[in-house]
Structure 1
C-alpha cells in the first residue's frame, strides 16, 4: 500500500509541476475560435461549390439529352397512341 501511495504522490507532484510551467497566451481562445470559424467557412464554401457543380452538370446532361431529340418524335406528348396524352376539344369549346 505504501508503494502505491508514494508512486501516486510522485506522479501527482510531477503533473502539478508540469502544469505550473504552462502559461497560456491571453488571446489563445480568440485565436482558436477564429481558426475554427475559418475552417467552418472553408468547409461550407467547399460544400456549396460541390453542390453548384453537381447542379450545373445535371442541367448540362439534361440539355444535352434534350438537344438530341428529334422534333418529329415527341417522347413526352405522344399523340400516336389511343387518345392518351392528347386533349381533344370540340371546335368552339373555348
Structure 2
C-alpha cells in the first residue's frame, strides 16, 4: 500500500478541528444525528472558516477578492450554526 504522509496530516487536522469545535461539545443521539452534525460542520469549514495557512481566508473563497476592512459603522450579520455552537460573521452591504 503506497503511503501519502501529507494526506494523513491534512485528514488528521480536519478530524482534530471537527472534534474540538463540534463533536466533543455535542451529545450525539445516534448515527443520523452525528451525520447531520458532521455535514453542518463541513459546510462551515470550507466556505466560511478562516484558515491560518491561507492568510485567514476560507478555502472556497481563495479566488474572490478580499472583503473591505470593517469600520465603526459597518453592519455585521451573525449566523449561528449547530444550535449556536459556531458563529459565522459577515459584513452587510
What band does the TM-score fall into relative to the shorter chain?
under 0.3
Greater relative CO (CA pairs within 8 A, separation 6+): 2
**TM-score, scaled relative to structure 1:** 0.26
More helix by share: 1
**TM-score, scaled relative to structure 2:** 0.26
